[in-house]
Structure 1
């Protein structure tokens, strides 16, 4: 799949959506989220092409004073399911999505783990946790998609929210539950080189990314973790930062940054859904 071509389709779709009326915007917005999420492992390019066709049909009908609901009917889920049936499963895209999710998790979460030079990096636990979070996020997205049409009452939505919340809560405790023998000591110069290398990769990928908005919330915690990790391996500061008070201070800093990160992600996603 041509990545540039796919991005152009998504960009065109976003621009055309601005011309929709409020009612049509809600109808098409739910349809778009449902198809993109439920058809996550199918041909993405074909999916975006069909979504664009539907959008243009809605806009044509809108010019004639016909709403999307009148044009496509009262059952948008059937319309969406019919579109999904036309999409072939793309194993290459599926593997790519999983690998990108794992790589993103690894890149953005490894630095906070190696701040303290006296704590070994459990690679086995790290990979298991990364796989869990990848599956969990895909599952949460799938639930989001099907909830648009299948679980419309408040009780069902609350149950789904609690289910996702439990899944995410368990994810935060997985590190404490799993320990493997595959551990690496990243103290001293090896740790500094590792931190500089990972930071360089993150900043390079961020610089090369055209749409920086989704990744911007992660940069402050990555940069701060890198700086703290390097400082903690310098003799002048290592004793202070490795002390109980130093670790508490670093924990507070990272906690505040994580909170700000989640707030920024929420505000960004809220703005993009308008």
Structure 2
């Protein structure tokens, strides 16, 4: 799949959506989310092409005074399912998406894991935890997709939210339970060099990323973790930060940054939905 071409389709779609009326925007918006989620095992680029065709049809109908519901019917799920059936299976794209999600998790998690130089980096635990959370993310997206047209009452949505919350909570609990022999000792200069290398990779990826608002909330905790990880490997700071008070201080700092991260993510998603 040509990633650049796919991104151009998505950008064109976003621009044209601005011309929709409020009613048509809601109709098409739900259709768009549903299809993008439910085409997980199918050709993503082809789905974006078909979504663009549907959007242009709605805009043409809008110019003639017809709403999207009048043009496509009162059952948008049927329209969406018909579109999905037209799409060829593309397992390669699916594997790429899963591996990319796992890689992003590991990159975002590895620096906080490296703060303590004595515990070592448990690569096996990172892979297991990352795989679980990747599956949970796919499951949560699937629930979001089916809830658009099937579960519209507040009680059903609350049950789905609690289900996802329990799954994510278990995932965090799992990180404390799982320990594997695949540990790497990254104390001293080797640890400092590793932290600097990973930080450089993260900052480079952020610099190259077009939508920086999506990843900006993660930067404070990543940069702080990198600084703390380096300081815990340097003489004077090592003694201070490895003390009971130092560990409590690190925990408080990371806790505050996590809360700020979630707040930034919430505000960013809220602005994106306006």
Alpha-carbon distance in 1 for matches of 2:43, 2:20: 26
Deviation at 1:41, TM superposition (A): 2.3
**Structure 1 residue matching 2:87: 3-state secondary structure:** coil
In the comparison of the two structures, how many residue pairs are matched?
274
Q: Which residue of 1 aligns with 2:207?
A: 207
Q: Which residue of 2 aligns with 1:217?
A: 217
Q: Which residue of 2 aligns with 1:44?
A: 44
Deviation at 1:184, TM superposition (A): 1.4
Deviation at 1:232, TM superposition (A): 0.9
Map 1:1-274 onto structure 2 (within 5 A): 1-274=1-274
Structure 1 residue ranges (4+ consecutive) displaced by more than 4 angstroms after TM superposition: none
Q: Which runs of 5+ in 2 are unaligned?
A: none
Alpha-carbon distance in 2 for matches of 1:30, 1:248: 45
- Stretch of structure 1 that moved more, 105-114 or 150-159: 150-159
Deviation at 1:114, TM superposition (A): 0.9
**Structure 2 residue matching 1:149: 3-state secondary structure:** coil
Deviations 1:169-196, CA, capped at 9 Å, x for gaps? 0011111111111111111011101101
Deviation at 1:115, TM superposition (A): 0.4
Alpha-carbon distance in 1 for matches of 2:176, 2:218: 23
Normalising to structure 2: TM-score of the pair? 0.98
Deviations 1:78-123, CA, capped at 9 Å, x for gaps? 0000000011111110110011001000001110011011122111
**Structure 1 residue matching 2:212: 3-state secondary structure:** coil
Deviations 1:149-172, CA, capped at 9 Å, x for gaps? 011122211111110010010011
